[in-house]
């Protein structure tokens, strides 16, 4: 069964305090949903139209599990804390196998 991935690329961080509040809540929501953080805020080299800002990749055992974790009450609480503190491109993608 193909794995599922959350891929978040932050364009701007306008409110570090909101990001900090999100960072307090999101990891436990991700873990409860079966996610494993592969990278979070590590070094980035951007090419083409990319932006060298914070990038997060989280792996789940399936695409469905990734979608369910995003829709969970715990993750929705984390999103509410983040609110308009950042601008990011967030995607849920299915792995190849």
Instruction: Supply the pTM of this predicted model.
Output: 0.91
H or E element in which residue 26 lies: helix 16-32
CA–CA separation, 10 vs 18, rounded Å?
14
Instruction: Name the burial class of residue 34, with classes exposed (0-12), middle (13-18) and buried (19+) by CB atoms within 10 angstroms of its CB.
Output: middle
Length of the chain as a residue count: 97
Looking at residue 50, what is its pLDDT? 84
pLDDT at 44: 87
Contacting residues for 11 by C-beta, under 8 A, at least 6 apart: 51, 53, 86, 87, 88, 89
In tens digits, the chain (97 residues) has pLDDT values of 899 999 999 999 999 999 999 999 999 999 999 999 999 878 889 899 888 888 999 999 999 999 999 999 999 999 999 999 999 999 999 999 8
């Amino acid at each position: 069964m193909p794995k599922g991935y959350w891929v978040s690329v932050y364009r701007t961080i306008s409110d570090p305090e909101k990001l900090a509040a999100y960072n307090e809540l999101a990891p436990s929501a991700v873990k409860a949903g079966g996610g494993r953080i592969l990278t979070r805020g590590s070094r980035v080299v951007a090419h083409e139209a990319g932006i060298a800002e914070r990038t997060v990749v989280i792996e789940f055992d399936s695409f469905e599990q990734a979608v369910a974790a995003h829709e969970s009450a715990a993750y929705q609480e984390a999103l509410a804390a983040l609110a308009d503190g950042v601008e990011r491109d967030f995607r849920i993608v299915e792995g190849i196998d």
